[in-house]
Amino acid sequence: MCGSGTIIDVAKEIYRILKPGKVMSWVIADQWIKKKFTATGFLLWERLIKYFEPIDLVCLTRKNQTSNTLIWHERARQYNFYLRGFKYLFIMRKK
């Protein structure tokens, strides 16, 4: 998760080695932790904007997921969860 320190350490290291005005990109997905949905992508976004200027945020999806079947649709209704997990592509510039 975002608060573990390792992701923030990576962001700080990217900031350290990136020259001013240069661009970086980061792909991250939302996740389920102990049966609870966690918007990891947006938690990371909140932290990254402290170090970088946002250029674009792209939401990535796949159409050929195996979860797009009748049994998964039934489970999603029964257990109240979303079938589509999103991945985010952050494109940011060093301030």
Q: Packing angle between helix 40-48 and helix 6-17, nearest 10 degrees? A: 40
Please tell me which residue, 71 or 31, carries the higher pLDDT value: 71
Tell whether the model's pLDDT for residue 1 goes beyond 60. Answer: no
pLDDT digits (tens, 9 = 90+) for 73-92: 888 788 877 666 678 999 99
Residues 8-36, mean pLDDT to the nearest whole number: 89
Q: Is the pLDDT of residue 12 over 60?
A: yes
DSSP state letters, 27-43:
EEE-EEETTEEE-HHHH
pTM: 0.71
